[in-house]
Amino acid sequence: MAYYSFTEAINEGRPINVFNNGEMKRDFTYIDDIVNGVVTLLDYKPSPSVNEISGAKSSMQVFNIGNNKPVSLRDFIFAIENALGKQADMNFLPMQPGDVPLTYADIDSLVEKTGFSPSIPIEKGIEAFVAWYLSYKKKTVSK
């Protein structure tokens, strides 16, 4: 949701709240990478395994699909600014209670089992998102 809310605020000239000086790092995964990962998994057939706790047999496996390349919040905002051609008005706030400085997807199993890993860099994903956003806003305003 940060993609949309930050893009909308920056585009409209409204301030955005930036916690911890924007030094947190997150995985930002472009939707095409998620879709391609899901499509890749359609052909994957996991081997049956036994649950260590319940002893039940299962032929299912859970995969994490994410970019696995954490980006600082500041760099994320900078990419949006570049794509919009507008500078963000940032309201710097302290770290929120319960927040963490770094999160990212562990895709080792996904890569090992399918050979797939996301490939769209943050800058390209943001450019595509902002182009979609501007087109969407233009259509909704003209209705």
Give the model's pLDDT for residue 54: 85
Q: What are 25's strand-pairing partners?
A: 72, 102
78-111-32-126 Cα dihedral, nearest 10 degrees? 0
| pTM: predicted TM-score of the whole model, two decimal places | 0.85
The predicted structure's pLDDT at residue 142: 63
d(CA 34, CA 29): 7
Confidence band for 128, pLDDT divided at 50, 70 and 90:
very high
Crossing angle (nearest 10°) for helices 122-141 and 2-12: 60
DSSP 20: G
Is 143 exposed, middle or buried, given 0-12, 13-18 or 19+ CB atoms closer than 10 A? exposed
* Interval 15-40: pLDDT, tens: 999 999 999 999 999 999 999 999 99
Tokens of residue 25, six digits: 């790092």
| Answer CATH for 2-141 from 3.40.30.10, 2.60.34.30, 1.10.10.10, 3.40.50.720 | 3.40.50.720
Angle at 110 between CA 34 and CA 128, to 5 degrees: 20
Residue 16 in contact with residue 89, Cβ under 8 Å? yes
Q: CA-CA-CA-CA torsion for 108, 109, 110, 113, nearest 10 degrees? A: 120
**Predicted pLDDT at 99:** 93
Residue 134 has pLDDT above 70, yes or no: yes
91 pLDDT band, cuts 50/70/90, is very high
